[in-house]
Amino acid sequence: MYHIRPMSDLRNHTNEILELCHKENQPVFVTRNGYGDLVVMSLAHYEQLLSRLQLYQKLSEAEILDAAGEEGISHKAMMAQIKDRIS
């Protein structure tokens, strides 16, 4: 569920908004003069969104390369490379 709060709440009820962001792991939308102006979220939620965006970008690049006929590596070969790096 989205939480929409006026700018005055950001100033007057900061701790409540921070707790809401952390407890529900959801952003709080802040309005100014009745219009959307800011989004406040926990650092953990922001990092999660950023990681997801980076994954989607890499998947998009892979799809483009695949459509262009470029050869990639197999899942088995990739897993072997990852295991080698971990060891």
Domain segments of the chain: what residues? Answer: 3-41, 45-86
In CATH terms, the superfamily for domain 3-41 is: YefM-like domain (3.40.1620.10)
**Rounded-to-integer distance, Cα 25 and Cα 18, Å:** 10
Q: What is the pTM of this model?
A: 0.71
The residue ranges of the chain whose pLDDT is under 70 are none
Among residues 29, 27, 54, the alpha carbon closest in space to that of 41 is found at: 27
Spatial distance between the Cα atoms of 64 and 19, rounded to a whole number of angstroms: 42
Q: What pLDDT score was predicted for residue 73?
A: 83
Residue 5's pLDDT is 96
- For residue 86, give both structure tokens: 């971990």
